[in-house]
Structure 1
Amino acid sequence: MNRFSEKTVVVTGASSGIGAATARRFGSEGANVVLVSRTKEKLEAVAKDIPSAKVVAADLSTKEGVETAAAGAREAFGQVDVLVNNAGTAVAGSIDDVDEDGFETVMETDVTGVWRLTKALWPDLKASQGNVVMTSSVSGTGGDWNMHAYNTAKGAITNLTRALALDARESGVRVNAVNPSFTKSELTADMLDNEELVAKFRERIPLGRPAEPEDIGDVIAFLASDDARFVNGVNLPVDGGLSASNGQPPQA
Structure 2
Amino acid sequence: MKQKSILITGVLGGIGSSIAKMFKENGYFVYGLDIREEQADFVDKLIVFDLHKYCSDEQYRNEFVLYFNDHILSLDVLVNNAAVQLLDKLDDLKLENWQETLNVNLTGPLLLSQLFLSRLEQAQGCIINIGSIHQQLTKPRFISYATSKSALIGLTKALAVDLEGRVRINAISPAAIQTDMLLAGFDGNEEALNQLRMLHPVQRIGYPNDVAKLVLFLASENSGFIHGANLSLDGGISSVLKDL
| The two structures share one fold, judged by TM-score above 0.5 | yes
* 8 A contact 1:36–1:69 mirrored in 2: no
* 8 A contact 1:93–1:146 mirrored in 2: yes
- The 3 A distance-change label for structure 1 pair 19 and 168 is same
2:181 aligned with 1:178: no
Matches of 1:38 and 1:68 in 2, distance apart? 16
Match of 1:163 in 2: 158
SS in 2 for 1:61: helix
Deviations 1:53-74 (A, max 9, x none): 1111110112355556555555
Residue type of the alignment partner of 2:115: A
- The 3 A distance-change label for structure 1 pair 163 and 202 is same
Which of residues 198, 212, 216 is equivalent to 2:211?
216
TM-score of the superposed pair, with normalisation by structure 1 = 0.87
Match of 2:220 in 1: 225
Deviations 1:77-132 (A, max 9, x none): 53011000000001112111221111111111111111111111111111211100
Match of 1:55 in 2: 46
Residue type of the alignment partner of 2:42: D
Match of 1:7 in 2: 4
The range that moved more, 58-67 or 8-17, is 58-67
SS in 1 for 2:117: helix
* 8 A contact 1:140–1:155 mirrored in 2: yes
What is the CA RMSD across the aligned residues, in angstroms? 2.1
Matches of 2:15 and 2:64 in 1, distance apart? 19
Matches of 1:189 and 1:39 in 2, distance apart? 19
Matches of 2:90 and 2:229 in 1, distance apart? 30
Deviations 1:189-244 (A, max 9, x none): 32242334323312211111221111111111111111211111111111111122
Match of 1:191 in 2: 185
Which of residues 230, 236, 239 is equivalent to 2:231?
236
2:90 aligned with 1:104: no
SS in 2 for 1:248: coil
The range that moved more, 86-95 or 191-200, is 191-200
Count of residue pairs the alignment pairs up: 239
Residue type of the alignment partner of 2:116: L
* 8 A contact 1:5–1:31 mirrored in 2: no
Match of 1:203 in 2: 198
* 8 A contact 2:137–2:238 mirrored in 1: no
The range that moved more, 74-83 or 22-31, is 74-83
SS in 2 for 1:125: helix
* 8 A contact 2:179–2:208 mirrored in 1: yes
TM-score of the superposed pair, with normalisation by structure 2 = 0.90
Residue type of the alignment partner of 2:3: E
Identity among equivalent positions (%) equals: 27
* 8 A contact 1:8–1:34 mirrored in 2: yes
Matches of 2:65 and 2:243 in 1, distance apart? 46
Where does structure 1 lack aligned partners over 5 or more consecutive residues? none
- The 3 A distance-change label for structure 1 pair 70 and 189 is farther
Match of 2:137 in 1: 142
Residue type of the alignment partner of 1:144: K
